[in-house]
Amino acid sequence: MLTAAMAGLLCRVATATTGVVVLGDLARDYQLKPGDAREATIELENRDGSARTVRIYQTDYCHLANGESFFPAPGSTERSNADWLTFSPRLLTIPPLQKSQVRYLLRVPRSRSKTGTFWSMMMIQNVPDAQPVMTGHPAAGAAPPPAASRSGVQIVTQLEETGRISLEFTSATIESRNSKRILTLDIENRGSRVARPEMWLEVYMGNGQKAGRFLVDKGAILPGCGVRREIDITALPKGTYSSLFIADCGKDVYGLEIKLVLEGDSEGRQLRILRN
């Protein structure tokens, strides 16, 4: 339960728009079982009038509810599938206004000791003409390339129906922003299986009559990662409301009860989480 007394009242790696860009989805999901293999390609397009070179390398990836994203060395995190991937080429020069491909093979180990969801990133970095060309993951301590110069393709592997989802609501705030009243919730997945919940907020007046239903953007929450979701509740007049935030993962449904006391137009408060 969340209780709030209000006195006044959610990484993706950037996709380049010049140079070489990735065509198609930046997140690839595979439902596989131990021993399975899948071959696929990443299609690239050079949108410049001169030949461009890209470097292809791997990283792991995690995202936090506060918006931070991290790209550690491939295979360094608990749920990395970087070692399951082989790809070619690692360096590619594409003629002007032409397309090319990176081919990869995803092969799941035969051992059934692993369960749940595993993932990593394949990074495609535009190499400036004057920059020395390197292969492999950037060295530890090296400055990462500018986000605008690279794109990331996330490769997610779900091992059959194994693993479990375990969502936790870790933070809730309400604030006034640009003449709007925004309720913000941070959600973490502390399980071992990716969650893709349908989410919404139901709000009721004291007499039980519904005051509003607010839909929330969907998105994947990887194990050990978090997302932030913002809900514009400006339409609610001043007053006291009960509400329920729902995250419906299909087999698993999570709810968070929130008491809203809206008294004005200038708000900013961290809400205390009593119970998920």
| 47 shares its domain with 178 | no
| 61 shares its domain with 183 | no
Q: What span, in angstroms and rounded, lies between the C-alpha atoms of 256 and 254?
A: 7
CB 187 within 8 A of CB 163: no
- With pLDDT > 70 as the criterion, what percentage of the chain qualifies? 82
pTM of this structure: 0.83
pLDDT at 129: 73
| 44 shares its domain with 119 | yes
pLDDT at 9: 25
204-225 per-position pLDDT tens digit: 998 889 999 999 998 899 999 9
**262 φ, ψ (degrees, to nearest 5):** -105, 115
Segment 263-275 mean pLDDT: 56
Check whether 272 has a pLDDT greater than 60: no
pLDDT-derived band at 3 (thresholds 50, 70, 90) equals very low
How many distinct structural domains can be found in the chain? Answer: 2
Check whether 11 has a pLDDT greater than 80: no
| 224 shares its domain with 258 | yes
Among the three residues 117, 141, 159, which one is the final residue of a domain in this structure?
159
Q: What span, in angstroms and rounded, lies between the C-alpha atoms of 39 and 86?
A: 10
136 vs 190, higher pLDDT: 190
| 28 shares its domain with 129 | yes
pLDDT at 8: 29
pLDDT at 266: 56
Check whether 274 has a pLDDT greater than 50: no
83 vs 139, higher pLDDT: 83
CATH code for the domain in which residue 212 is found: 2.60.40.2360
In a domain, 269, yes or no: yes
In a domain, 268, yes or no: yes
In a domain, 15, yes or no: no
164-190 per-position pLDDT tens digit: 999 999 988 888 888 889 999 999 999
pLDDT at 19: 86
In a domain, 35, yes or no: yes
Range of the domain at 92: 20-159
Segment 239-264 mean pLDDT: 89
Q: How many other β-carbons are positioned within 10 Å of the β-carbon of residue 135?
A: 10
CATH code for the domain in which residue 47 is found: 2.60.40.10
Average pLDDT score, the chain: 86
pLDDT at 270: 59
pLDDT at 17: 54
Q: How many other β-carbons are positioned within 10 Å of the β-carbon of residue 179?
A: 7
pLDDT at 178: 85
Check whether 14 has a pLDDT greater than 50: no
Beta bridge partners of 178: none
Which is it for strands 99-107 and 150-159: parallel, antiparallel or unpaired? Answer: unpaired
Check whether 130 has a pLDDT greater than 70: no
Among the three residues 159, 191, 221, which one is the final residue of a domain in this structure?
159
Segment 15-24 mean pLDDT: 77
In a domain, 85, yes or no: yes
pLDDT at 136: 59
pLDDT at 20: 94
| 155 shares its domain with 189 | no
| 212 shares its domain with 128 | no
